[in-house]
Chain A
Amino acid sequence: MPLNSYDDLNDIQMDVLREIGNIGSGNAATALSSMVSRPINIKVPKINILDYEQVMSNLGGPEELMVGILLALSGEIDGMMMFLLHKDFAHMTVNDLLGCDLEDFNQIGEMEMSAIQEVGNIMAASYVNAMSQMIGLDINISVPDMCVDMVGAILSVPAIHFANISEKIILIEDEFDSTQNSASSHILMMPDVDSLNKIMQNLGIDI
């Protein structure tokens, strides 16, 4: 029986998604690490069948200032992908990448913004490439779109997108941080229900 909603996922299928998250974020973190030439740690991904309020409180409350980079997935998988970077993490990345020494994140200009956006682009491409190879489906990513605001407001965008289709969404949430900075950041992978069916089928998992 095909999956009709995210609640239908069983433990094995959840593990599959967790592994996809693991491989994807491993690749994305490697890409980031080579860009900023410092080690990046990743944690074991979490699968959340959502509850936005929960995600927001995990991220430090709805008013926490974060940098959100949003990409749409298309091709054989549909959905969205989002990077949420803590202000300090984005700040550090910009300084490393551009060799500048900004003291305050609020000073960032267009140049710095576009550097962060490019980081998101490269990380997303690494994530999606690994995912695409693993499951054998073609996935395209859109040009990244970015905003710096309260995390609740940033998350309202995917929340609304998925609210239109189903009542819940699935988040494959990966956390990463740098050894020198405790500010963690997150990658959210949000495939739609049909895409989950395709993923499971292609991997030979019973649905």
Chain B
Amino acid sequence: MSQIITVGISDLNVVKAPGVLVTYALGSCVGIALYDPLAHVAGLSHIMLPSSLQMASAANQVMKFADTAIPVLLKKMESYGASHFRIKAKIAGGAQMFSGINNSSLANIGQRNVIAVKEELRRANIQIIAEDTGKDYGRTLYLDADDGSMRIKSVNRGEWVW
């Protein structure tokens, strides 16, 4: 039985095999699952918002934003023995939970989160090898440090392994 580490909202964590990282109920938030297959180091981040730029008090909230969380996660993985050039990404979440919202801060926030995550990963030179994003339902994400598989669980819509 390997250890299961929970990653909360605007939180991140890293584990070296054996171990599983899990983040529950991603709605419009995005889960970023990074994995180094040689070192068997897995990292998971649960971000809420695309960018820290418009936030005044962003300094102590680095794990909340796509643009600031990803560099922190990469650094942490490297301290566990992962190598930047071997790390690949799988991402999930970014759903639109309520269809009729026209409030400007919320419209398409899921989609904007996904775009920001992709942009930041591209900037960090990390390839995305699997993606389960968008649509209109919540997802729980499990990332297994043994093989880097990402398991997505939903309510009433089944389960997938990426």
| Chain A residues with a Cβ under 8 A of chain B | 52-53, 56, 61-63, 65, 68, 70, 72, 106, 143, 145-157, 159-161, 163-165, 167
Contact = CB atoms under 8 A, between A and B. Distances in A.
B119 to A, nearest CB: 18
Contacts of B12: none
Interface residues of B, number: 33
B122 to A, nearest CB: 23
Contact of A161 (B55, B100, B105): B105
B61 interface: yes
Contacts, number: 100
A153 B98 contact: no
Contact of A149 (B8, B64, B97): B97
B98 A146 contact: yes
B25 A152 contact: yes
15 contacts: A63-B25, A106-B156, A143-B100, A145-B100, A147-B97, A149-B155, A151-B25, A152-B25, A153-B138, A157-B101, A159-B48, A161-B103, A164-B49, A165-B105, A167-B57
Interface in B80-101: 95, 97-101
A68 B136 CA distance: 13
Interface string B141-160: 00000000000000110000
A146 B136 CA distance: 11
B25 A163 contact: no
Contacts of B100: 143, 145
Nearest to A163: B48
